[in-house]
Amino acid sequence: MAITPDVDAATALKNKGNKAFAQHDWAGAVDLYTQAIEKNDRDPSFFCNRAQANIKLESYGYAVADATHAIDLDPNYIKAYWRRAVANTAILNSREALRDFKTVVKKEPNNKDAKLKLAECEKLVRRVEFFKAIEVGDPPSAFEGLDIESMEVDASYDGVKLENEMTQEFINDMITRFKNGKKLPKKYVFQIVQAVRNIVYDEPTMVEMEIEPATTLTVCGDTHGQYFDLLEIFRLNGFPDEKHAYLFNGDFVDRGSWSTEIALLLYAYKWLRPKMFFLNRGNHETDDMNRVYGFEGECKAKYNERVFKVFSESFSALPLATLVGKKYLTLHGGLFSDDNTGLDDIRKLDRHVQRQPGQQGLMMEMLWTDPQPQNGRGPSKRGVGLQFGPDVTKRFCEKNGLEAVIRSHEVRMEGYEVEHDGKCVTVFSAPKYCDATENKGAYINIGPDLKLQYHKFDAVPHPDIKPMAYAQSSIMSMM
């Protein structure tokens, strides 16, 4: 028997959801729109509004599903087509997005903004198809033919010189240069990226490290080009040194507009202290994401296209996981579609054969998956990868002798969250993410006793450059 909609109660909940959305409480808005839908599942605006909140949460798979439901209820609902197109663009389903932008223009032929977005989406589709067409199985190194030794440093450069080894003096000067909006000479950029590419290439796919007596390891999550917030971590927690190791768990770049600065600073520390500074690859250290979310554009704007290409090669050489003290598997995304997958499978994974993660397989899952509160596995809220429940995490930890899995990949309002009965920890280190989400940042300190100590911090002011300033198109700025 059909349930009679409670229109008034549902509308009141929708209005509360709109207020939560206006306050940038995206998760609260999703919850309120969901409650509204439970009381009246016949109003397409409830689904369309929830789609927009899910876009803000980067739950693009859920956003596509909600927008589709809204369209099923009202095939003429322009805003739903628009939001489905935006969500599909975010997960690089540009052909699906193109169909929806075409529908918007067909239904509203005088909508100038829709025509602009359609043109941008067509350009994006052509670009994606171009890169697919020129893909080769084993491309030559981006460093081939790059004569770094013969490059000149511009006479206007007034900073510390970089010779054949990284120095703390150079790093200190670089930190200040970047704060003041200055760049490094291209020669130094190529030197740093090449040195680190060679270091990380020789590291195992899963680095295994111990925390020595009187030493601390700090684990940081996504920093996403928020350079001034990265410096705040170092100010509060101490800079890397011989007794203070750091592990950055992926997504150093994209979205924020100081991605080159973050990548170069992290790389400089990796070069200086290769055994005390660790870098895991994230899903944004990949070509497809970099081309859309800003890192490629930033490299071209601040340096040149060759700089992006050498960074790309270095990203594909990064380890995919770090095992801390044999107790904490740290990786960017999460766990796997198969319970039989274990630490040995990660150890055996040859990441140098497949440089980009693709849409399936072990590497993709390590970079893209997310936890869910219910047991079992479910479809990805992002539209890429999958979700795994507490029972999956429990079995994995028991089978591999682990205390917990530490991962990043998702905003957490308090900067971190402990889930799955303490066996799944998310840490996210980009506070006030993209200047739009009122979240804190966090980092985790781990001493020789292997106890996890959580620290939260707030965003700090930064120069007036907006997030996504170097992104592929204005479609991305709508997210």
CATH assignment, 168-478: 3.60.21.10
How much is the pTM? Answer: 0.94
User: What span, in angstroms and rounded, lies between the C-alpha atoms of 105 and 325?
Assistant: 56
Distance of CA 459 to the CA centre of its chain: 18
Q: Residue 417: its pLDDT value, please?
A: 98
How far, in Å, CA of 256 to CA of 249, rounded? 17
Give the closest residue to 364 by CA, choosing from 320, 399, 323, 395: 320
Can you give the pLDDT at residue 360?
87
> What was the pLDDT predicted at 135?
67
**Residue 20 φ/ψ, nearest 5 degrees:** -60, -40
Give span(s): CATH 3.60.21.10, the chain: 168-478
Find the length of the chain: 479
pLDDT in tens, the chain (479 residues): 456 789 999 999 999 999 999 999 999 999 999 999 999 999 999 999 999 999 999 999 999 999 999 999 999 999 999 999 999 988 888 899 999 999 999 999 999 888 988 888 888 888 777 777 766 667 789 999 999 999 999 999 999 999 999 999 999 999 999 999 999 999 999 999 999 999 999 999 999 999 999 999 999 999 999 999 999 999 999 999 999 999 999 999 999 999 999 999 999 999 999 999 999 999 999 999 999 999 999 999 999 999 999 999 999 999 999 999 999 999 999 999 999 999 999 999 999 988 888 888 999 999 999 999 999 999 999 998 999 999 999 999 999 999 999 999 999 999 999 999 999 999 999 999 999 999 999 999 999 999 999 999 999 999 999 999 998 765 565 55
Please check whether residue 445 is in contact with residue 266, taking contact to mean a CB–CB distance below 8 angstroms. no
Q: Could you tell me the fold of the domain covering 7-134?
A: 1.25.40
| Catalytic residue numbers, as ranges | 284
Q: Where in the chain is the domain with CATH 1.25.40.10?
A: 7-134
What pLDDT is attached to residue 2?
Answer: 54
**Closest-CA residue to 479 (of 99, 119, 56):** 56
Per-residue pLDDT of 321-365, as tens digits, reads: 999 999 999 999 999 999 999 999 999 999 998 888 888 899 999
